Structures are given as structure tokens and as C-alpha cells.
Amino acid sequence: MSWQVRTMGDVWRFTAVIAAVMLLGSLALRFLMLPVDLAMRTLLPGSAMAILLGGPIAWVVGQRMREVSRLGERLEHALRHDLLTGVHTRLSFYRTAKAPGDRPRAVIVTDIDNFKGLNDRYGHFAGDQALRQFAAILTAHCRASDIVARFGGEEFVIVILDAGAAEGLAIAERLCARVRASPIFFGEHRLRLTASFGVADLPPGGEMDTAIQQADRALYRAKHTGRDRACLFDPARDGAAIPMGTAAAWPPQPPISAASNG
């Protein structure tokens, strides 16, 4: 049996239980080891001593158990979530989402347009800020039941539950518009951020890896037909695997000045 001590309420309960056990143990030993009349005469001071000794010790132990529990939770969160963006890691994604289900799902693969160029021109701090903002937009405009994960670099994968291809495409288009409407501010610069999205259907019982590959091919088409858009996987156009192209120069259009609209 393991005792999970996570909150101060748990610490108080742990302390009360341990103090009660010590008190009962003290009483049992007293009546077993001493004559009854002597046990009765020492009942009150002996009980007080057990509580005075056991209570503080149990409190200290409970506090340490709470600290260990909280540390374990932080470590578990760190293993499951990307340190920079706070979304699921690739490993956590596969643990959570890969199992075949009996509910339809839409898979979205997305990344920031020309991200390498942004890093090269403005530095990695600007790149990190762009990734954090991008992840925040994806998370804020997806449901709590959906899964948002960073697969590496600027690439993210989203699983939308109880959604088909058409609904997944509509969600991707809304996300695309939201990213476009949310420039990032870095120093004196106000930079337009855009992203491309590929969408694929994942029917009940379908393979997650297959859907991700299809969405990735649709993303490739979105990149090579102008970026800043969402494309739905089409076997006629996306059937062959295509290697990802190289990043173009940043920005896709000049930075927006403080006086500019949009």
C-alpha cells in the first residue's frame, strides 16, 4: 500500500493517522507490559508523550513525502511536455494518441513558415518566442480533449477528436488565420508570423502513423503552393512521398511597422 501525500490536507491526515497509531501502540504496550493499576495511573502522561513525540515526527515525514510527491509530478510533467512550449512531447503524443480508437479523428501537421530564416536573421531568442506563441495559439484554439504535440523543431502535430476530414480542415484554416493575425514582437521588431497546415482523416481503427504521413504530404503541398494555408490530403495529388524542401529567406514579406495595419 502506498500513501500519496500531495496536499497540505494529505499531510494533516497523514499526521493524524500516524499519531493515532502511535497512541494506540503506546496504550497496547502499556497494558501488556505493566500491571493494570500502574498502566491506569500512567495512562494520561503516557498518551500525551506518545502524541507529543509522534505528532511532530509524523508532520515532518508528511512534509517530506509531499515534497517528494510534488517533485515526482514535476518530473512526470517534464517527461510528457516540451520544455519550451509546454505542449506534449513526441513520446507523450504516441503514448496518448497512437492506440486505435473507435472514434473518428482528424490529424493536423503544421509548422511555422520559413522558420529557419527567422532564426538566421533574428536569432534563436526570436525563434523561441515564435515557437512559444505558435504553440500557445494552437493550444488556446483546440479543445482540452484534443492533443497538441511538438514533434521537433517547428513541426507540431494535432489530433482532433470526433472530427472528420472536413471539420479538421476547417479547424486548420481557423488556426492558420489566427496565427496570421498574431504578429510577434521582438525588440523593436514586429514580425508577421504565418504557418502552413496539412490535414488527414483518421477513421476508427486507422493507423496513426499513416494519417500523420498523409497530413505531412498535404503540408508539403501547402508549402509549395504559397504557404500560409491549409491543405487536405488528396491521394491523387499527395500520393507519393516527397522530401521536405529547404527553407526560404525570412521574412515571407517585410516586417510590419508599428504604424502598419494587421
56 and 157 belong to one structural domain? no
- According to DSSP, the residues that pair with 190 across neighbouring strands are 185
122 and 213 belong to one structural domain? yes
What number of H helices and E strands is found in the chain? 9, 7
Q: Which spans in 141-207 are helix H? A: 165-180
C-alpha cell at 49: 508523550
Query: Which pLDDT value is given to residue 245?
Result: 40
97 and 74 belong to one structural domain? no
Query: Which pLDDT value is given to residue 10?
Result: 78
65 and 98 belong to one structural domain? no
How many other CB atoms sit within 10 Å of the CB of residue 73? Answer: 11
Q: Is residue 33 part of a domain?
A: yes
Which helix (H) or strand (E) segment holds residue 225: the answer is none
Give per-10-residue mean pLDDT for the chain (262 aa).
70 77 73 71 70 74 75 68 91 80 90 93 92 96 93 94 94 97 88 95 90 95 96 87 42 43 40
**Straight-line distance from the first to the last Cα atom of the chain, in angstroms, rounded to the nearest whole number:** 59
Query: Which pLDDT value is given to residue 73?
Result: 65
106 and 211 belong to one structural domain? yes
Last residue within a domain, chosen from 80, 100, 124: 80
Instruction: Specify the amino acid at residue 42.
Output: T
34 and 134 belong to one structural domain? no
Last residue within a domain, chosen from 80, 104, 123: 80
98 and 194 belong to one structural domain? yes
Rg of the chain over all Cα atoms, to the nearest angstrom: 29
CB 42 within 8 A of CB 35: no
Catalytic residue at 207?
Answer: no
Q: Which domain holds residue 193?
A: 90-238
Q: Is residue 246 part of a domain?
A: no
Rounded to an integer, what distance in angstroms lies between the CA atom of residue 153 and that of residue 155? 6
Give the C-alpha distances (Å, rounded to integers) separating 132 from 16, 75, 136, 251: 45, 21, 6, 18
146 and 201 belong to one structural domain? yes
Query: Among residues 76, 154, 155, 207, which one is catalytic?
Result: 154
Is the Cα torsion angle 223, 227, 230, 232 positive or negative in sign? negative
Whether the pTM exceeds 0.85: the reply is: no
66 and 97 belong to one structural domain? no
Q: Is residue 27 part of a domain?
A: yes
